[in-house]
Structure 1
Amino acid sequence: MAPAASPAMTRRVHPLKSLNPYQGSRTIKVRVMSKGRRRTYSNARGEGFYFNVKLTDEDGTQIQATMFNEAARKFYDKLEMGKVYYISRGTLKVANKLFKIVQNDYEMILNENSEVEEAGNEATFVPETKFNFVPIDMLGPHVNGKELVDVIGVVQSVSHTMSIRRKSNNEIIPKRDITIADETKKTVVVSLWNEHATTVGQKLLDTADQSPIVAMKSLKVGDFQGLSLSTIRRSIVKLNPEIPEAKKLRSWFDSEGKSSSMDFVGSGAAASSKNGSRSMYSDRVFLSHFNGNPSLGEDKAAFFSVRAYVSFIKPDQMMWYRACKTCNKKVAEVVGPGYWCEECQKNDEGCSLRYIMVVKVSGPSGEAWLSAFNKEAEHIIGCPADELNQLKSQENEENPYQLKLKQATWAPHLFWVSVAQHEYMGKKRQKITVRGVAPVDFAAESRFLLEEISKQKAS
């Protein structure tokens, strides 16, 4: 006698594309592609809360499902990103075009009587997220564009959660910044918002010392600090995904990448975009522009590019700080071996040195003092802070530390800088911070100057 069929084997599943509001309840088999956070609402019928998820079936059709109040309470913890479920006893309605997050004429409403059951071993029949990755060094043309991008990278650092107040409605929302790198040897900062910050973001922080791989879909490319990425409501963030691109990236990082010097993607001229956003060759000013505008950056930071020579580096300044290897925040020495990180709330046997220094730069119109941090300072000095520290400890007649600083002076650079007002000793002072630095490409510089001459003639 043949064994009885299991419920999963006899269950009849309907494709999403066959559903419409005029049918009875149908069972669907779907994967959770994204999950929103619980939000509150208030209208004429009262107050409550809700959340929604984006679902896809094996045909690739997508639908948004929304749950209110009791249903939201019942299913919020049960529905997990990436897992596959059988869902039944839901109702369909015509999707509101203003709020829908997928291309579907309908959306699904689940109530407290709806049924949600994890599919378990049958999850392989529903496709995983499909990515179309853009290399980090190719993100420039997408700055401030309408198209969203997919990226994959090795996590270099993870911040703790920050609370940001939204200007539009005064709502407090969580944010977390991570820095990732890929085989182009470029890094980029990705801001994780809302659930991405508190869920997968926390997992990234917990495993940051293992340099995890993260794949992200549907990110917005902005021009903050030259170039940055941020999640939106429909973004998908996957930790250590089982995809060929992740395996290839892991192999590269373990064999070569972890010992390579990385550059911030916004620090080169490639950070220009097709729609005219900022780059190393836009918003160009002379150094006299800063001295002649003492109130520059008073309301908010202003960004400019400037060509200048590093003319002096004070050798006796505090040029670096001891940093946590996980979050890059300052650490303190403890009794006995090791260092304590207040941010990560943990003790570590070792630490790294990260630059925090000032340099004087000079140009045809004057000079200015610039603050430079780790990656930008590495470009200026020509070596990591740990290496410069070793040179400083070598006391001999040649004085390799002083020689290294001397070699870094009178070299031309393109600087991408921010200008802001900071209060010091009760007085506001202008602070110019290096956000990106690149060597002068004389061919590109010549083209830039010719364009400027043409503009002057035309005016």
Structure 2
Amino acid sequence: MFTGSANGKRESSIRGRMSINLTANAIPAIINGDVNAKPLVQVLDVALVPNSNNSQQQKRYRVLLSDAVLSHDAMLATQLNDRITTGQIQKGSVVQLLDYICSPIKNRKIIVILNMETILRDCEIIGNPKPYMNSALPTVSALADNTGGNLSRSNTNSTSTVQNTSQSNTQNFRPTIQPAYQPPPVYKGRGAILKNEAPARIIPIAALNPYQGRWAIKARVTAKGDVRRYNNARGDGKVFSFDLLDSDGGEIRVTCFNAIVDRFYIVIEVGKVYMISKGSLKPAQKNFNHLKNEWEIFLESTSTVELCPDEDDSIPRQQFSFRPISDIENVDNNSILDVIGVVTSVNPSVPILRKNGMETQRRILSLKDSSGRSVELTLWGEFCNREGQKLQEMVDAGFFPILALKAGKLNDFNGKSIGSISTTQLFINPDFPEAHSLREWFDREGKYSASLSISKDNIPGGVKNEVRKTVSQIKDEGLGRSDKPDWITLRATISFIKTDTFCYTACPLMIGDRQCNKKVTRSGNARWQCDRCNQEFEECDYRYLLQAQILDGTGLTWVTAFQEAGEEIMEYTAKDLYLLKHEQQDDETFGEIIKSRLFNEFMFKLKIKEELYGDEQKVKITVIKVDKVNYSSESRYMLDSISKFCRQ
């Protein structure tokens, strides 16, 4: 450790004609690996690093540090640039180094200052410091013998400066220097090696920093995001990222843009181990990067990514930091976290229209754990069809699986809940201790114990933000009469279906990426004509425009169901019923089909909005989604409703 100390912290405005002790032997100790102390040093010079390659690059400053005996160059991390521009650090300033590293660059070592505190802004130069010579000076451990006495007589002449100036301090300066990091054997790739270019050394992810020379990391891909497209002032582009984990537990995100996406997206596979080198490191964007690493790797045209042919068991498949559900109540919104729980309910997947006009799928689950709490988990996109469908089948069969979620995003809208993102991973009934412990708890007592939800309006069998209502509440509460439509979920029975206008003939032509769907009529030559497209064609499309009356225990109302919802209700295509009624004129069969659909119970997702018809305002109720009633989920819903009522 360092010896010597400042006489307490002083106001930065004090000028330095007073006595102050810099930390003895700070410079050689830092250069030789001791970065655990917080030495007091003086700034001898400040200079802006020339930037001829890229004028848009952020400014970097070089400072010359002194311990009153020796001096050495240091680079200031960019987040400390304001210390220079505001004058907190200038020539003569005495500072305390709080966080720093020492990196080899082109056969010499540079101190990289990550954090510091100004003790004196302005002070006269202390001592008569000489430059520290990396290649000539001995290590700090060689400055003192085992008894803390004289320096070794075998030192060369180039070390005489250190011997003469440091000998008085060596008796009370016996730093414990960690041995320099020795990298494991370099992974032997089969590619050609450039002339006079030594192989990059393998280092742990935790040791990466922007000021290193050539490096390589060996790590396993734990997550891979989709390719995302963007548009900004520079034009259109695309980007994707993947996460890495090495044998020391270090994690870091790797990001690729544009042409680099085309080069590496297909190459990268989750679960595989790769050797990666020649990337650039930049500060991690914490708004999008949840990993515990200050840096992020950006691959470039010169970067290399090589698949390691042999499996490396020393690198784990995944690394979790599970939080009990009860702890999530106190976690900040938008945090990324890992959670494990028992799946107690799974809702059907429903289509959702995004703000960009694209449709996606959403499915909501309920998780509980031994903390006595449950939470709502929302799956988006392909998660709904892959893991989501499997989970629903398991729960419907009466088996409640264990689900481990890696990298879910917390939101606190309408209570705490978790949602999947592009880098989320789901593990059903995983084989690790936390899952086995949770299974034992659930089978022993968990299935019989109630849990308190941290997600408001969390109703098993229901859908988030779509409140259950009855038919009578639509009118009593004036739903649909505000500026925005109301969305509700209603369990009801079909009591009547209008058969004269149950569907219409539609234009099949595409306008851009969407079908026209405008109503078409027969032309004189028995072809179909669309006035909107001003074209004729032999075949048209048939789309539902189903008007039905639905009822529950509180009343009845009319609803309109379009194509997908109509097919769910009728279990026939609109074309089949149209041809049966109008072409084959088989009224008896048609009538039997209509009767078979009456008095069936469904779960209706309804959109309610007041619209203008002529001069009259009318409330229109549209069926957005319809599902058969899952009586297992409905039973849990009623039990949960009773439980909540009893707690009031």
1:299 — aligned with what?
484
Alignment of 1:183-332 (within 5 A): 189-193=376-380, 196=383, 212-222=401-411, 228-233=417-422, 235-251=424-440, 265=453, 291=476, 293=478, 295=480, 299-301=484-486
State whether structure 2 residue 235 is matched by structure 1 residue 50: no
Looking at structure 1, the residues matched to 212 and 344 of structure 2 have their Cα atoms a distance apart, in angstroms, of 50
Q: 1:80 Cα shift? A: 3.2
Looking at structure 2, the residues matched to 133 and 31 of structure 1 have their Cα atoms a distance apart, in angstroms, of 24
* Contact map agreement 1:86 1:119 (CA 8 A) in 2: no
* Contact map agreement 1:161 1:175 (CA 8 A) in 2: yes
1:125 — aligned with what?
315
1:37–1:132 Cα change, 3 Å? same
State whether structure 2 residue 338 is matched by structure 1 residue 150: yes
1:52–1:269 Cα change, 3 Å? closer
2:608 — aligned with what?
421
1:302–1:38 Cα change, 3 Å? closer
Looking at structure 2, the residues matched to 230 and 100 of structure 1 have their Cα atoms a distance apart, in angstroms, of 16
SS of 1:131's equivalent in the other structure is coil
* Contact map agreement 1:92 1:109 (CA 8 A) in 2: yes
Structure 2 residues not aligned, in runs of 5+: 1-184, 190-198, 460-464, 496-549, 558-604, 612-617, 624-633
SS of 1:124's equivalent in the other structure is coil
2:280 — aligned with what?
91
1:193–1:84 Cα change, 3 Å? farther
TM-score, normalised with respect to structure 1: 0.51
Corresponding letter in the other structure for 2:641:
V
Q: 1:189 Cα shift? A: 4.2
Looking at structure 1, the residues matched to 442 and 257 of structure 2 have their Cα atoms a distance apart, in angstroms, of 44
More helix by share: 1
- Which residue of the other structure, out of 221, 230, 233, is the alignment partner of 1:32? 221
Q: 1:109 Cα shift? A: 1.7
* Contact map agreement 2:329 2:416 (CA 8 A) in 1: no
1:344 — aligned with what?
none
Corresponding letter in the other structure for 1:177:
R
1:414 — aligned with what?
none
2:140 — aligned with what?
none
1:110–1:207 Cα change, 3 Å? farther
Q: 1:230 Cα shift? A: 1.0
Q: 1:39 Cα shift? A: 0.9
2:252 — aligned with what?
63
* Contact map agreement 1:57 1:126 (CA 8 A) in 2: yes
SS of 2:269's equivalent in the other structure is coil
2:642 — aligned with what?
438
1:50–1:294 Cα change, 3 Å? closer
Corresponding letter in the other structure for 2:354:
R
Q: 1:25 Cα shift? A: 3.3
Q: 1:40 Cα shift? A: 1.5
* Structure 1 residues 200-250: Cα deviation after superposition (integer angstroms, max 9, x where no partner): 657767988786532113434456786643123554433433221212334
Q: Identity of aligned pairs, percent?
A: 31
CA RMSD of aligned residues (A): 5.5
* Structure 1 residues 65-90: Cα deviation after superposition (integer angstroms, max 9, x where no partner): 11123432343244333444332232
State whether structure 2 residue 260 is matched by structure 1 residue 81: no
Looking at structure 1, the residues matched to 332 and 610 of structure 2 have their Cα atoms a distance apart, in angstroms, of 32
Q: 1:53 Cα shift? A: 1.6
Looking at structure 2, the residues matched to 76 and 207 of structure 1 have their Cα atoms a distance apart, in angstroms, of 33
Corresponding letter in the other structure for 1:79:
I
TM-score, normalised with respect to structure 2: 0.38
SS of 2:306's equivalent in the other structure is strand
Alignment of 1:339-354 (within 5 A): none
| Aligned residue-pair number | 320
1:67–1:145 Cα change, 3 Å? closer
1:62–1:247 Cα change, 3 Å? same
Q: 1:158 Cα shift? A: 6.0
Q: 1:114 Cα shift? A: 1.5
Q: 1:165 Cα shift? A: 3.8
1:155–1:290 Cα change, 3 Å? same
1:292–1:239 Cα change, 3 Å? closer
1:58–1:198 Cα change, 3 Å? farther
Q: 1:102 Cα shift? A: 3.4
1:141 — aligned with what?
329
Structure 1 residues not aligned, in runs of 5+: 272-277, 281-286, 304-312, 320-355, 361-367, 371-417, 446-459
1:51–1:230 Cα change, 3 Å? same
* Structure 1 residues 176-221: Cα deviation after superposition (integer angstroms, max 9, x where no partner): 4142444569865422235655776577679887865321134344
* Structure 1 residues 290-333: Cα deviation after superposition (integer angstroms, max 9, x where no partner): 72645567624489xxxxxxxxx99xx789xxxxxxxxxxxxxx
* Contact map agreement 2:486 2:607 (CA 8 A) in 1: yes
Larger radius of gyration: 2
1:147–1:129 Cα change, 3 Å? same
SS of 1:437's equivalent in the other structure is helix
2:208 — aligned with what?
19
